[in-house]
Amino acid sequence: MNTASLPLRALWAPRTLFVRLSLIFFAGLLAAQTLSVWLTVTERNDATMHVMVGYIGQEVTSSVALLDRLTPAEREAWLPKLARRSYRFVLGKGTSGMPPDAKLSQEIGESIAKDVGSKYHVTANAVPGDAEHLEVHMTLSDGTPLTIDMHPMHGIPLSPWLPLVLAAQLALLAGCAWLAVRLATRPLERLARAADTLGPDLAPAALPEDGPEEVARASKAFNAMQARIGIYMRERLQILAAISHDLQTPITRMRLRADLLDDETERARLQKDLKEMELLVREGVAYARTLHGADEKPCRIDPDALLESIVSDYADAGDPVSLTGHIGETVTTRPQALRRILGNLIDNALKYSGGGAVTVDVCVDPGRKRQLSITVLDRGPGIPPSLLEAVFQPFYRVESSRNRETGGTGLGLAIAKQLAQSMNATLTLRNREGGGLEARLTL
């Protein structure tokens, strides 16, 4: 596939429904958890700041009342004792400035002015600088100026264990979301696997009709569809078999009558036509059987011996067919189906190029699975690229003269394709550089 022709979103979007739903659920949970933490921390800070402002106002009022009752000589000794982490008392006028514009400074200044009262002539101003800095000025009863130097604290530090708890909670929610998505998409995966295994044999295991109501209904409908398709295909095979059986008798009578003809030319032409009819009937029944499924059971075979036997049969008949490559291990497959596929491919190579070459090799696919590849090569005219898939259709022939000797019945590649699917293999065609065709069977 050419990725340049795909939309940009298709290049990064996950390909499986499981991953997509998992990402959606996880992103939603992450956003909800983040919003929940933000709201909780914000509400906690607002409530804590409100309590802190009221607490500062009460403490400052008590401290000012104490300093007002002390003598000027005693006040200096008490100043360190009355200091807190965010403010301290200074005997003096302090620094003048503009009224505070920060919200917290305004609230603290108003709270202190309200709690201390108008008796001490309380004023507040901001101190220029990077950090928020506030000074509250007042005058004691004896006329001594008093300044409260404050550095308001924003926010409450989080406990060190809180992020770990939040991370564990998010991981738990993500795990639950993953499990929920897994349970929801598993029936779809099972249905897709069953559809993929619904090959020409039409004999896969029925899907279990349990689980949620929607899943059970889908499984039941799929099983019913399999059964209907099986019935249709069996009826099709029975019709073709009946036609083949019924045609054998008139073909035999026609052959007997042809033998009685005095004209040798007409007799030869009629016998040729009858031979083509028999071939067409035989190929049609063979194709119907591949659609219905093969009765042959897979077994362990020596592929090297099988390939050498096939090539030797052609060599004995005088056909130039060569074999290259060695597998060196046994495989599990359907030997008769494999022999039929390779026979059809080699026959095509001989028909269109006069010779063929068979090569075998073992490779490893991206999923780390070992694959057996059998390739049939020829130097014939090849196939137009637009028709490389069409030639697998039954009765389709690239050669349009309708001559059986030059174009065949149009069922050889169709039968090979169906047999390959029944073996869980793939059959592909491509044109070779320099001319010719490559037919590759991958097990």
Please write the tens of the pLDDT for every residue from 192-214: 777 776 655 555 567 788 777 77
Task: Give the number of other Cβ atoms within 10 Å of residue 290's Cβ.
Answer: 23
Same domain, 427 and 302: yes
> Are residues 430 and 301 part of one domain?
yes
Same domain, 245 and 343: no
In a domain, 208, yes or no: yes
Q: What is the CATH number of the domain that holds 364?
A: 3.30.565.10
Same domain, 284 and 357: no
Residue 236 counted as domain residue: yes
> Residue 89's pLDDT is what?
92
The predicted model scores a pTM of: 0.49
Regarding whether 418 and 318 lie in a shared domain, the answer is yes
| Angle subtended at Cα 191 by Cα 189 and Cα 195, rounded to the nearest 5 degrees | 115
Token code pair at residue 182: 């897994």
Kindly tell me if the per-residue pLDDT of 315 is higher than 80: yes
Q: Which domain holds residue 220?
A: 199-293
Give one DSSP letter per residue of 89-124, joined into a string: EEES-----PPP-SHHHHHHHHHHHHHH-GGG--EE
Select from 272, 293, 314 the last residue of a domain. 293
Work out the pLDDT band at 158, boundaries 50, 70, 90.
low
Q: Does residue 160 form part of some domain? A: no
135, 146 in Cβ contact below 8 A? no
- 318 shares a domain with 214: no
Last residue of a domain, one of 88, 121, 150: 150
Tens digits of per-residue pLDDT, 253-307?
888 888 888 888 888 888 888 887 877 777 766 666 665 555 678 889 998 999 9
Among 135, 150, 165, which residue terminates a domain?
150
**306 and 397 together in one domain:** yes
DSSP annotation of 262 reads S
Establish if 157 belongs to a structural domain: no
Question: pLDDT, tens digit, for every residue of 353-370?
Answer: 888 889 998 887 766 678
| Same-domain check for residues 122 and 215 | no
Residues 286 and 325 placed together within one structural domain of the fold: no
Cα four-point dihedral sign 108, 110, 113, 116: negative
Provide the pLDDT for residue 12: 55
Percent of residues, the chain, with pLDDT higher than 90: 10
| Residue 193 falls inside a structural domain | no
Instruction: Output the domain CATH number for residue 44.
Output: 3.30.450
Q: Please give the C-alpha separations between residue 141 and each of 57, 123, 138, in angstroms, as whole numbers.
A: 19, 16, 10
Span of 302-316, 325-339, 368-382, 399-413 with lowest mean pLDDT:
399-413
Q: What is the pLDDT of residue 434?
A: 84
The answer to whether position 104 is within a domain reads yes
Contact at 8 Å (CB) between 258 and 270?
yes
In terms of domains, do 139 and 221 share one?
no
In the predicted model, what is the mean pLDDT of the chain?
80
Using alpha carbons, list the distances in angstroms from residue 180 to 22, 108, 174, 183, 385: 9, 51, 10, 5, 46
Residues 304 and 231 in one domain: no
Domain count, the chain: 3
Answer whether residue 170 is part of any domain: no
* Same domain? 317 vs 381: yes
In a domain, 378, yes or no: yes
